[in-house]
Amino acid sequence: MNHLVDLPEWQSLQAHYQQIAPLHLRDLFQQDPGRAERFRLDACGWFLDYSKNRIDRQTMDLLVKLAKACGVEEARRRMFSGEKINRTENRSVLHIALRNRSSQPIYVDGQDVMPQVRRVLDRMADFSEKVRSGQWMGAKGRPIRNVVNLGIGGSDLGPAMAYEALKPYAQPNLRVRFVSNIDGAHLAGALADLDPAETLFIVVSKTFTTLETMTNAASARRWLLSGLGGAELAEAPQSAQARQMTARHFVAVSTQADRVAQFGIDAAQNMFEFWDWVGGRYSLPSAVGLALMVAIGPEHFFQMLEGYHAMDRHFYTAPLEQNMPVLLALLGVWYHNFFGAPTYAVIPYDQLLARFVAYLQQLDMESNGKGTTQEGTPVAWPTGPILWGDVGTNAQHAFFQLLHQGTHLVPCDFIGFVQPAWSAFREDYTRLFAGHHDRLIANLLAQTEALAFGKTAEEVRAEAVEDRLIPHRTFPGNRPSNTLVAQRLTPYSLGSLIALYEHKIFVQGVIWQINSFDQWGVELGKQLANRILPELQAPQEPPWKHDSSTTQLIRWYRQHRSG
C-alpha cells in the first residue's frame, strides 16, 4: 500500500492548499458568483449546500482524484459484496444487509444472509404488534405499558437517539426508556415511577456478558421480582416461580442462547438474533432497534430502513463527484489534514435530534479514532477528528462565541428541516407555536452566513461603534460549513441521514488507510476494571499490582467507602 502522503494526488492537494488558504470566503464568492449552484447536491430527500467551504472547482477535482487514488471505489465494492474488509477481526462489514429493501441477495461466506435478516425483522414486527396491541401480558395478566431497553454503546445510543428523534411517531400509551450507565442512579431513575406488573425489559448484549448491561439486567430482575413477589423471591431468581415471571417481563437481543436461557428468558421464543458482521454502532436497523420498533411500530421502522437503503444505493451507484457521503468525507479530509482542524461540530436545528451528536460521536470516533494503518504500521497523518456539538439554538448561547471569534478553525455541519415534525401530528401545532420554526431556521441560515462572511472593521465602524470596541465587535468569518436540509424529520429522512454519516466515515477510513470497523481501544480499560473490581471489594487489603497513583486511589476509596 502506498504511503498516503507520498501519493502524487496528496502532493497536488498540498500545493493547492498553499493557494487556497490565504483566500477568504468573501473572495471565493466574489470570484465565482455561481458557486452556490455549483456546490450543491440533492440525494435521498436531502439538500446539501457545500458552497460555504474554502474550496474552488480545482479543490474538489483534486479531492476526488485523491479518493480514486486511495481506492475508495474498490473499497466500496468490496464492502457491498461481503468481503471481509474488517481484517483485524476477519469479518465482513454488512450493515447494509440489515436495511436492504431490494430483492437482491447479499452474501457472507457464499451464503445469502437476507433470508435470516428478513426472518428476524418479521419476528420483531410480530412481537412489537403484540406489545403495542396489549396482547403481550405480564406475569400478573396486565398488558405492557413500559418498555426499558438495557444496553450500552451501539446497543443504546442508536435506539435511544432514534426514539427521541421519532417521538412524534411513538405510541402515546407506551413509555420507552433507555438505561446504559452502570451507575445505579441511571437505572433507579428510569424505574422510579414504573409498575413492575406493566414493565418489559429488552436486554441487548451480543455476548450476554457486557458488564454494564448485565449488571443492570440483574438489578432490573431483582426490582421486578421484588415488586411482583417480594424480597424473598428476588433472592431466588433461578426458582421456578421467578423464572416464570422473568420470562414474561424480559426479552433478549443476543447471539448467546445458553446465557439468555440461564438468565430466565425463553431463548427459543424471545431471543432476537443479530450477527458478527454488524458492528454495534451500525446495528440500529437490526434487532438492536427492537425497542424503537415497539415504540413507533413496524411500518414506521420499515420506512426508516427505506431511508437507509436509499442512501446506501446512492452511495454505491453515484459517481464520486456527485456522491453526498463522498463529498462530505473529502471536505472533512481537506480541513483535518490540510488546514489542521482537529475537530468538527454538528449542529442539528431540531430539538428532536438532541441525542444525534452523541450517537455520531461513537459512530465517528470509535470508527476512525485509530493510530495504526491496515498494515499494522503507525499512521503518519491525522486520522479521526474530534466530533462535538449540540442542538441549535442552544448551541448559539454556549459555544458559538468560540466558533465566530475564537482562535480555532472548526468546520460545522448544520442540519435543518423545512417543516417541524410535530406539525404532521397535531392540528393545533402551527397555531399554538406560530413563528417558532421560522425563527429557528432563520437562526440556522444566519449562523452559516455569519460564520462564512463575518463582519469587517469597516462595517462595524459604519455603525458608529467606538474605536476602542471595534476589534471586539469584528467577526473574521472564513469559517466553513455544510448545510443539510430535508422536508421534515421522518423515519425515512432519519434513516438516510444516519447512512449518510456512516458512509462518510467509511470513505475517510479508506483514505486514511485504517480499519473503521474494529474498536480495540475500548478493551484495555474493561480488562483493568475487571482486575480492580475485586480489589475494591476484598475484605482485606489485597497485594497491589498497580502504579502508585492507582494504588493510592484504590486505598482512598476503600478507606472512605463506609463513610
Burial 449-469 (b: 16+ CB within 10 A, else e): ebbbbbeeeeebeeeeeeeee
Give yes or no: residues 507 and 546 share one domain: no
Q: 343: cis peptide before it, omega within 30°? A: no
The answer to whether residue 526 is catalytic is yes
CA distance 497 to 499: 5
Report the pLDDT value the prediction gives residue 1, as an integer from 0 to 100: 62
* 495 in a structural domain: yes
Write out the chain's pLDDT in tens, 563 residues.
678 999 999 999 999 999 999 999 999 999 999 999 999 999 999 999 999 999 999 999 999 999 999 999 999 999 999 999 999 999 999 999 999 999 999 999 999 999 999 999 999 999 999 999 999 999 999 999 999 999 999 999 999 999 999 999 999 999 999 999 999 999 999 999 999 999 999 999 999 999 999 999 999 999 999 999 999 999 999 999 999 999 999 999 999 999 999 999 999 999 999 998 999 999 999 999 999 999 999 999 999 999 999 999 999 999 999 999 999 999 999 999 999 999 999 999 999 999 999 999 999 999 999 999 999 999 999 999 999 999 999 999 999 999 999 999 999 999 999 999 999 898 888 889 999 999 999 999 999 999 999 999 999 999 999 999 999 999 999 999 999 999 999 999 999 999 999 999 999 999 999 999 999 998 899 899 999 999 999 999 999 899 999 999 999 999 998 76
Summarize pLDDT for 464-480 with one digit per residue, the tens: 999 999 999 999 999 99
H/E stretch holding 204: strand 199-204
The 3-state DSSP class for residue 108 equals strand
- The answer to whether the CB of 154 falls within 8 A of the CB of 282 is yes
Q: Are strands 343-348 and 250-253 parallel, antiparallel or unpaired?
A: unpaired
Residues 281 and 329 in one domain: no
pLDDT at 353: 98
Strand (E) or helix (H) holding 150: strand 146-150
Query: Does residue 76 form part of some domain?
Result: no
Question: 467 with 323, same domain?
Answer: yes
CB 290 within 8 A of CB 120: no
Could you give the number of structural domains in the chain?
Answer: 3
Is 84 one of the catalytic residues?
no
pTM (2 d.p.): 0.97
Residue 89 located in a structural domain: no
Classify burial at 228, counting beta carbons within 10 Å of its beta carbon; exposed 0-12, middle 13-18, buried 19 or more: buried
Q: CB of 518 within 8 A of CB of 86?
A: yes
Which domain CATH number covers 479?
Answer: 3.40.50.10490
Q: Is 161 exposed, middle or buried (0-12, 13-18, 19+ CB in 10 A)?
A: buried
The answer to whether residue 8 is domain-embedded is: yes
Q: What is the pLDDT of residue 65?
A: 98
Whether 324 and 468 map to the same domain: the answer is yes
**Domain hosting residue 412, numbered range:** 4-69+318-518
Please check whether residues 353 and 218 belong to one and the same domain.
no
Is residue 514 domain-shared with residue 525, that is, in the same domain?
no
Catalytic residue among 273, 366, 502, 535: 366
Catalytic residue among 397, 408, 472, 545: 397
Q: What is the pLDDT of residue 563?
A: 61
State the cell numbers at 491: 423515519
CB 411 within 8 A of CB 344: yes
Residue 27, pLDDT score? 96
Instruction: Establish if 74 belongs to a structural domain.
Output: no
Q: Both 419 and 336 in a single domain?
A: yes
Torsion of CA 166, 201, 135, 234, to 10 degrees: -160
What distances in angstroms separate CA 316 from CA 258, 269, 312, one per listed residue? Answer: 39, 37, 6
Q: What is the pLDDT of residues 365-402, one digit of tens each?
A: 999 999 999 999 999 999 999 999 999 999 999 999 99
On whether both 372 and 499 belong to a single domain, the answer is yes
Give Dmax (Cα) for the chain: 82
Quickly list H helices, 43-180. 57-69, 72-80, 95-98, 114-133, 157-165
Regarding whether 222 and 344 lie in a shared domain, the answer is no
Q: 560 an active-site residue?
A: no
| Catalytic-labelled residue, pool 449, 526, 541, 545 | 526
Nearest CA to 216 out of 184, 264, 257, 178 is that of 184
Counting residues of the chain whose pLDDT is more than 90, the rounded percentage is: 96
CB 104 within 8 A of CB 115: no
Residue 184, burial from CB neighbour count under 10 angstroms (0-12, 13-18, 19+): exposed
Three-class secondary structure of residue 347 per DSSP: strand
- Whether 94 is covered by a domain: the verdict is no
- Are 530 and 514 in the same domain? no
The verdict on residue 382 lying in a domain is yes
Look at the block and give the residue holding cell 476509596: 557
Residues 272 and 333 in one domain: no
> 265 is written with which cell numbers?
428468558
Dihedrals phi, psi of 147, to nearest 5 degrees: -125, 125
Residue where one domain finishes, among candidates 239, 265, 296: 296
264 and 243 Cβ atoms separated by less than 8 Å: yes
- E strand or H helix that includes residue 31: helix 25-31
Q: Is residue 513 domain-shared with residue 535, that is, in the same domain?
A: no
Domain contains 307: no
